[in-house]
Structure 1
């Protein structure tokens, strides 16, 4: 019985570590994508504001 546990526990431990690492990668990627969307929205907003200011200065 002890031999079976000794043979099975190391792969199970490696599997648990693998799942933890992959989960961390996925969560980090999700956070990075959300941050990138937020930054791009801010940049687009600034571009629209500048374009509106330029139109007003050209027309006014």
Structure 2
């Protein structure tokens, strides 16, 4: 039984699947990083909003 042609037929599909997996993983990591950055900016803005207002001395 010769498995070579069957494996040769599957290699392109496996390759495309691996490329697709890498692309989706990159998108998910980028989304996670962006959400973390936005949450950090929101916390900083909230902390600034809760600080007492400094009045300029005359």
Note whether the superposition's TM-score is higher than 0.5. Answer: yes
Partner of 2:53: 53
The TM-score, its normalising length taken from structure 2, stands at 0.81
Report how far residue 2 of structure 1 moved.
2.3
Could you give the per-residue CA deviations for residues 1-53 of structure 1, whole angstroms, max 9, x where no partner exists? 2211221000000000000000000011000000000001111111111xx22
Tell me which residue corresponds to 1:20. 22
How many matched pairs?
53
Question: Please, which runs of 5 or more residues in structure 1 have no aligned partner?
Answer: none
- Aligned mates of 1:53, 1:6 — CA distance in 2: 70
TM-score by length of structure 1 reads 0.78
| Greater percentage in helix | 1
